Structure 1
Amino acid sequence: MKLVINACAFAILFTGGLDHSNAQTFSSSYTSTAPKDCRTVGKPSESGGTTQVCPGKSGFVVLIAEDDLRETVSVGRDRAAAAKEPAAEAWFAPFNSTEHKVEWRTANGKPFAITQRWHIADGSDLDKDGRPNTKAMLMVTRLPPGAVCHVAYVDAKANPDANELARNAADELARDFQCGKDQVKIVGQSGRAVELLRR
């Protein structure tokens, strides 16, 4: 009889006894930052750099600025807002570029982070034509409310499950991350792409 009572109590605790009002449903959706899907704004810089505004999710836009073969990516309600975010000033020393797909992580339908694949040029690894080969990395960036900034880096080659690691990092870290105070996390195994960012 004692075992039956405990089993019933266990069942009540983990079914009807739980408050599911705080349960969150996480999901992903995608947008494109391909040039055909974005609009170029302003005039090219003296070095040929360009700025593009691309449609995002839930009224956000993605701002991609490229100059001297280096990119920054930021998000805001409009171009001006995105340009003022910390992410718009976060550039890397090595040449780099981004792929044209942005993954939006949402909780109960509201986006709170993006992940995007970057390619970082490795000057010590040249191809047959003397050009740097690139190393792939996934970047997690938090979204408003609050500032937009980098939260986590995942080395794509060093981690076969890099996409899942990036999603988990977004879900667990992005919303409580304090830009300018918290340090960007290296998630999973470190690899050459992450090493290049530290230079």
Structure 2
Amino acid sequence: MNRIRIILAVLTSCIALNGASAQSMGSTYTSTAPKDCRQVGKPSELDGSTTRVCPGKNGLMVLIAEDDLREIVSVGRNRKAAAEEPAANIWFEPFNSSETTIEWRSVGTKPFAMIQRWHIADSSDPDKQGRPNTKAMLVVTRLPPGPVCHVAYVDAIANPSANELARKAADDFARGFACGKDEVKIVGTRGRAVELATMR
């Protein structure tokens, strides 16, 4: 009887430990809309460039800088840290903008990647007013600890299940991605948005 009690106690302890360590993976969301962020300085009178800092998850801050109708988005514990990350130096050549919702992929409460929808201007596809139509793309970005940089691009038009592909890319690649060494992965069907984003 004592042996059975010991075995049951050990099994109960193992189950409790596994339950504590096996934290769930999931998504939460934050806004980068200007009303939810703090503007840094005043817009430039020369070109209208702006910088804002937005609250993220788990103490992270999101830095969004717009200059010449192009944006960069980076993340750090504060504005200075975010500005020094590799992501702060990633520019798409065509005019572009990011949407104001960020999806944070997390294990438990700790985010390891973010997903954001971008719109890339296609000058070869003008609208009736002659302005370029935009093509949508999801950008997966790895988060601290370690450098912050783009991990994967998913063309939102060419892939009907783009959100699911982006989440899987975040879960599979972000934590082990080596910024500056690994190439950004093109996930799913390569469409026009990805073509525009990767042109040099």
Give the TM-score normalised by structure 1: 0.88
In the alignment of these two chains, the number of paired residues is 183
What secondary structure is seen at the aligned counterpart in 2 of 1:81?
Answer: helix
Q: In the alignment, what sits opposite 2:171?
A: 171
1:123-142 paired onto structure 2 within 5 Å: 123-142=123-142
Query: Which deviations, in whole Å up to 9, do the C-alpha atoms of 1:42-67 show, x marking residues without a partner?
Result: 23333110000001000001000000
Classify the secondary structure of the residue corresponding to 2:58. Answer: coil
Aligned positions of 1:62-101 closer than 5 A? 62-101=62-101
Is 1:159 the equivalent of 2:159?
yes
**Counterparts of 2:24 and 2:183 in 1: how far apart (Å)?**
27
- Rounded to whole Å, the distance in 1 between the matches of 2:23 and 2:111 is 12
1:107 matched residue in structure 2? 107
Q: 1:10 matched to which residue of 2?
A: none
After superposition, residues 54-69 of structure 1 pair within 5 angstroms as 54-69=54-69
Equivalent residue of 1:53, what SS? strand
Partner of 1:122: 122
Distance in 2 of aligned mates of 1:198 and 1:43 = 31
RMSD over aligned Cα atoms = 1.5
**Mapped partners of 2:22, 2:127: distance in 1:** 50
**CA distance in 2: counterparts of 1:132 and 1:25, whole angstroms:** 42
Aligned residue number for residue 41 of structure 2: 42
Q: Secondary structure at the match of 1:189?
A: coil
Per the alignment, residue 196 of structure 2 pairs with 196
Q: Take 2:101 and 2:60, find their aligned partners in 1: how far apart are those partners? A: 15
SS of the aligned residue for 1:151 comes to strand
2:114 partner SS: strand
How many Å separate the matches in 2 of 1:157 and 1:20? 40
> Percent sequence identity over matched residues?
71
Shift of 1:20: 4.4
Name the counterpart of 1:25: 24
Distance in 1, Cα, partners of 2:18 & 2:182 = 31
Residue 198 of structure 1: how far off its partner (Å): 2.2
| Alignment check: 8 A CA contact 2:53 2:79 kept | yes
